[in-house]
Structure 1
């Protein structure tokens, strides 16, 4: 094809129009030759959504290629597409369309997290470890030389935690809270995922020693609850030094002791009027009663 000046011009390929270089064209890779990304934080569940995906794969195949990289052993490592590959296996496929890209460890982590983090059904534990992995990768990457000047200025002007918060749509403080969940023992983290332990309470527990966390888990298993004021009291006591499990239980029990039973007392008008002159108003009678009770209380304290 020629332009208006008669010069020949090159037609852009479909891959170029889509922003995919030729080297990244999808190819069929044997599933048996692909291994999961190390410490992948996202769970692949055989739930209803997975079954829907399996049915779709049986009918249409895998429409979106997975992203792989070659690891240090020259083997295929999954970067993003774990759910698609699992669905392909369940559908009976032996190969899957894949793009193989050359990625460093940190670039692979960022790509993996970015491909998964916007899913609505993510569990708190998945977000926690994903945010932690990406934040650590961002800190190691620092200011990259392949970014534009504007991007570099943006990266220099803000902390990694703030940038991560902007990318995932939460505050840097909330990023910190999620990452704190990675300090919980697995049993407590499961309670958070199953909505049996409040997020904010779990964050407070994350600052407590792992052994004491195990005691807390036992307490929750026995009682079925844990209250914010119990953890607050426990952390306050731990600031003064270590405690044993019996002392912890004592702290928890003191926080949830039954409140005093409220008592209401009513005197009928007939009962009161026989002690007062007829011209006494209700206010007059109330003042006399309060005065007599005050005197009685003083006598009791002597």
Structure 2
């Protein structure tokens, strides 16, 4: 007589044990000896979902082994499977099945990121931060990064540009209050106050990404005259040219909003810096 589904699942511990034994480098590992992954790209874990997974693990065991790498003093570092590890602790497991991989920091970061992206468990800001970390820590170019994670360069760039948004907008994406599609049009806005104004409008009215783009197009239309911000930017461009002529210094004026911005003095070497300071009368 055929077994029911619940009966088959209750035997999954045995099935996993047999599969674990058949893989080279896979073995049961003490939960207490596993350290969390410092390169874990995921920062948000739903507690209710963890509790549900823990209950499932109590009944059926862990279906998919964790992925670890050896660390110091006989301990292990988690590469992927932090959700399963957390749920296993909640379920009271002493041991978990794990693949043991011999990888360096760069490969560990890549594996953790790729697993989460493939499972679509990361929000857009977590993906963007992970991409930026791979660029910073691993010295990858955007095109190389795209190849590693199976994304084209445009997609990688779209994620990275989200990090240019003000913190409240990034937070709204992380919390799922707005989508990446709704947020992307806001990247083109230089006025932060206007960005945040649109953020509230998106959340309050549930505007689609297309509607946000339409609002921006309308805002950019003029009747032949400049908006106050555009007029101010034009005034600052003229002021920039005037100051360059007077000081002989290649300064640049960046306008963020009316009466807000900063002045920068670019230089390419220590010699150029000293020359700039001399021209400004600031050399010691």
TM-score between the two structures when normalised by the length of structure 2? 0.56
Return 106-115 or 79-88, whichever deviates more: 106-115
What residue number does 2:144 align with? Answer: 160
Asked if the contact 1:183/1:207 (under 8 Å) is kept, the reply is: no
- The CA deviation at 1:119 is 1.3
How many residues get paired? 210
What residue number does 2:67 align with? Answer: 67
What residue number does 2:90 align with? Answer: 90
Structure 1 194/102 Cα, relative in aligned 2: closer, same or farther at 3 Å? Answer: same
- The CA deviation at 1:208 is 7.2
Structure 1 216/26 Cα, relative in aligned 2: closer, same or farther at 3 Å? Answer: same
Asked if the contact 2:125/2:162 (under 8 Å) is kept, the reply is: yes
Q: Which has the higher contact order (CA 8 A, sep 6+)?
A: 2
TM-score between the two structures when normalised by the length of structure 1? 0.53
- Determine helix, strand or coil for the equivalent of 1:117: helix
Asked if the contact 1:184/1:206 (under 8 Å) is kept, the reply is: yes
Provide the C-alpha distance between the structure 2 equivalents of 1:17 and 1:62, rounded to a whole number of angstroms: 15
Provide the C-alpha distance between the structure 2 equivalents of 1:39 and 1:238, rounded to a whole number of angstroms: 42
Structure 1 35/129 Cα, relative in aligned 2: closer, same or farther at 3 Å? Answer: same
Asked if the contact 2:28/2:95 (under 8 Å) is kept, the reply is: no
Asked if the contact 1:128/1:178 (under 8 Å) is kept, the reply is: yes
Asked if the contact 1:117/1:130 (under 8 Å) is kept, the reply is: no
Asked if the contact 1:138/1:160 (under 8 Å) is kept, the reply is: no
Structure 1 56/110 Cα, relative in aligned 2: closer, same or farther at 3 Å? Answer: same
Structure 1 184/70 Cα, relative in aligned 2: closer, same or farther at 3 Å? Answer: farther
Asked if the contact 2:68/2:79 (under 8 Å) is kept, the reply is: yes
Q: State the Cα deviation string for residues 212-260 of structure 1 (Å, max 9, x = none).
A: 6488447745994795455986997769532446889xxxxxxxxxxxx
- The CA deviation at 1:121 is 4.6
Structure 1 39/105 Cα, relative in aligned 2: closer, same or farther at 3 Å? Answer: closer
1:23-38 to structure 2, matched below 5 A, reads 24-31=25-32, 33-38=33-38
Structure 1 215/30 Cα, relative in aligned 2: closer, same or farther at 3 Å? Answer: same
Provide the C-alpha distance between the structure 2 equivalents of 1:208 and 1:122, rounded to a whole number of angstroms: 26
- The CA deviation at 1:58 is 0.6
- Determine helix, strand or coil for the equivalent of 1:85: helix
Larger Rg: 1
More helix by share: 2
What residue number does 2:241 align with? Answer: none
Asked if the contact 2:39/2:109 (under 8 Å) is kept, the reply is: no
Asked if the contact 1:127/1:178 (under 8 Å) is kept, the reply is: yes
- The CA deviation at 1:117 is 1.4
What residue number does 2:159 align with? Answer: 178
What residue number does 2:255 align with? Answer: 242
Provide the C-alpha distance between the structure 1 equivalents of 2:177 and 2:31, rounded to a whole number of angstroms: 41
